[in-house]
Structure 1
Amino acid sequence: MSRLVGPRRIVCLTEEPTETLYLLGESARIVGISGFTVRPPQARREKPKVSAFTSARVGEILKLKPDLAIGFSDIQADIARELVAAGVEVWIANHRSVAGILDYIRRLGGLVGVAGAADALAERLERGVEAVERAAAALPARPRVYFEEWDEPPISGIQWVAELVRLAGGDDIFPERAAMPLARDRIIEDPAEIIRRDPQIIIGSWCGKKFRPEKVAARPGWSEIAAVREGELHEVKSPLILQPGPAALTDGLNEIATIIARWGNKLA
């Protein structure tokens, strides 16, 4: 008799459960993934792609006979509703913070019967985050950072991004918006407010398209911004930072920390 605990046929509607299950050695449970998945690379080769972020091929998902579908946020509510109506069990996570990401990893591990491995993974990730924070404490100053999640209209960074900026040694210029869970509440209605807050570093991560620093620098009035004057416009690829999973706490955080450290070295 198989000793496999928990769901055996999982469809991952976003990337973070896929990455987490692979890291936990439980990839055999995954029968379908999001088309936006890039981590780990072998997932794209091994697993059928059955969803985007706001849409899914529900018929194809049902053919896979999943016993669980895992997604993220209210944006996937319609997909979840359709799958539930078809008899599929669905877990939609809605975590928005660094602590929430660590808790998500532990919950997912518990769900598939590998709580010990999930605890170990979360602790390893937490130690990595703490190491970045310690290194950032030695910087000569904390830069003002504007993180742009989308450009038209401009949308500032979500909570876990603002937290990672802080851990890496910077200060997000829109902390009050970062607390807003919905993207529409983080739209910068008056772009002049960005000019007034005068970021010293601009980081772009336009989900689904390449960041264009020259386009940002050419915005009306933006030549007055310190980051534009000093050429501090950088991209962090969205798969590394805009999915609330292990990537954000590793490669995403490290890229932000590198950008901020280079800025700090100019002051030294």
Structure 2
Amino acid sequence: MDPFASFRMPRPGRGQTPRRAFAMHAAGAARLAPIALALVLAACSGAPATPAATSAPVPTATATPAPTPTAAPAFPVTVVDDEGTSVTLASEPLKIVSLTPAATETLFAIGAGPRVVAKVEDITPYPPEADALPVVATFQGVDIEKIVSLQADLVIAGGLGFTPPAAVAQLRNLGVPVVVLYAESIADALAGIDLIGTVTGQSDEASVVSSAMQVEFDRLAALTEGLPKPLTFYEIDATSDIYTVPAGSLYEELLRMAGADPITTDASYQISLEKLITANPAVILLGDGGYTTPADVTARPNWSGIKAVVDGAIYPVNDTLITRPGPRLVDGLRALINALHPEVHA
């Protein structure tokens, strides 16, 4: 087998069935969460240093400052990734490859962007600073040879099959450290940001971002407490089969936090039209709003009796913000709140 084989990734587009489709397709990019950006800028500017302790003066000598404690070195470092694999980095990585859009956003948000040498293809690219990076992974495959030729000393990959496991194994066999991340909850998403900070030597900066996100999640969640929670169908895709959020997922958690009572399904992401009609949602949110309009939904056979269709409560949302577990996930929650409860002005 060619050690530099190109491993296939999930195909994009309409009718895509794997859960990675939910994480990859999107309706565009938006700004970073203002509170996170403000805190990151504050962290980058630095706070006044605490003066070092000095020894007591004696009559025969000038007082000498006590040695300033040296911070423990960040490397070597060993972490356990989201698949339970122990990964050791002997030194701070200088050539990082990002194989998920969320990782790309996170690396730039925590100040590791200048060390990123390549990325996965992103159909809704963000941040702009990453636009010029070479692409080493697409829906057609992962270019192992290119990653090795770039002398990558850290690869951040996606779990649950987002990055093909065979590609992860091949990179590790070639001596490239690979950290695999995936988020099934908001807590997982925040922990992933912190883990990226650890493996890049940017722990303090990552903590600033994740802590600010938690503050904003808490603030936004408080806005919807006590509000009516409409029965809501979040449409991932309905080109042929119908796909929505699975129970117990990050996306169900976001919808509930936004003030919805979401219709959920199993890990297949699939839901039958019969089940959807029986549920009779009061609101339909179009995560596939990049190519599906409210008028398209209204025109579908057998959908005319659904309450959301009758009432015209069909709203496109920015799926990228909602399904990408990176620094802008709080903006995804804000987008959901504004669609479900515009009176709140989140």
- TM-score range (shorter-chain normalised) is 0.7 to 0.9
**Is 1:143 aligned to 2:226, yes or no?**
no
Pick one of 40, 43, 62 that aligns with 2:127. 40
The correspondence for 1:120, drawn from 160, 184, 208, is 208
Distance 1:86 1:66 in 2: 11
- Aligned ranges 1:67-146 → 2 under 5 Å: 67-75=153-161, 76=163, 77-139=165-227, 141-146=228-233
CA contact (8 A) 1:20 1:246 kept: yes
Q: Mean Cα displacement is larger for which, 19-28 or 80-89?
A: 80-89
State how far apart, in whole Å, the 2-side matches of 1:79 and 1:149 are. 27
In the alignment, residue 126 of structure 2 is paired with which amino acid? R
8 Å CA contact 1:148–1:203 kept in 2: the answer is: yes
Q: CA deviation at 1:118?
A: 1.5
Work out whether 1:155 is the aligned partner of 2:236: no
Q: After TM superposition, where is structure 1 displaced by more than 6 Å over at least 4 residues in a row?
A: none
Give, as a single letter, the amino acid of the residue that structure 1 aligns with 2:135: K
Q: How big is the alpha-carbon RMSD for the aligned residues of Structure 1 and Structure 2?
A: 2.2
Higher helix share: 1
> Which amino acid is 1:197 matched to?
A
Match of 2:301 among 216, 220, 225: 220
Paired amino acid for 1:254: R
Is the partner of 2:142 in helix, strand or coil? Answer: coil
Of the three residues 112, 116, 119, the one matched with 1:26 is: 112
Secondary structure of the equivalent of 2:157?
Answer: strand
Structure 2 counterpart of 1:130, which letter? D
**Structure 1 position 60, deviation (Å):** 2.1
1:29-64 deviation per Cα after TM superposition (whole angstroms, max 9, x unaligned): 21101111512122113x112212562222222221
Find the aligned partners of 1:82 and 1:150 in 2 and give their Cα distance.
Answer: 33
Q: 1:169 to 1:54 in 2, by over 3 A?
A: farther
Deviations 1:154-198 (A, max 9, x none): 111251111111111111111x53xx3xxxx2211x211111111
Which residue in 1 is equivalent to 2:326? Answer: 245
Residue aligning to 1:197: 279
**CA displacement at 1:213 relative to structure 2:** 2.8
Conserved 8 A contact 1:19-1:246 = yes
C-alpha contact (below 8 Å) 1:38/1:239 kept by paired residues: no
Secondary structure of the corresponding residue to residue 328 of structure 2: helix
SS in 1 for 2:233: strand
Alignment of 1:48-63 (within 5 A): 48-53=134-139, 55-63=141-149
- Out of 186, 192, 198, the position equivalent to 2:269 is 186
Once the two structures are TM-superposed, the CA of residue 84 in structure 1 deviates from its matched residue by: 2.6
Distance 1:187 1:61 in 2: 35
Q: Secondary structure at the match of 2:105?
A: helix
% identity of equivalent residues = 28
Q: Shift in Å at residue 217 of structure 1?
A: 2.4
- Distance, in Å, in 2 between the alignment partners of 1:59 and 1:204 is 39
Secondary structure of the corresponding residue to residue 122 of structure 1: helix
C-alpha separation in 2, matches of 1:53 and 1:90: 19
**Structure 2 SS opposite 1:222:** coil
1:6 — aligned with what?
92
Report SS of the residue matched to 1:99: helix
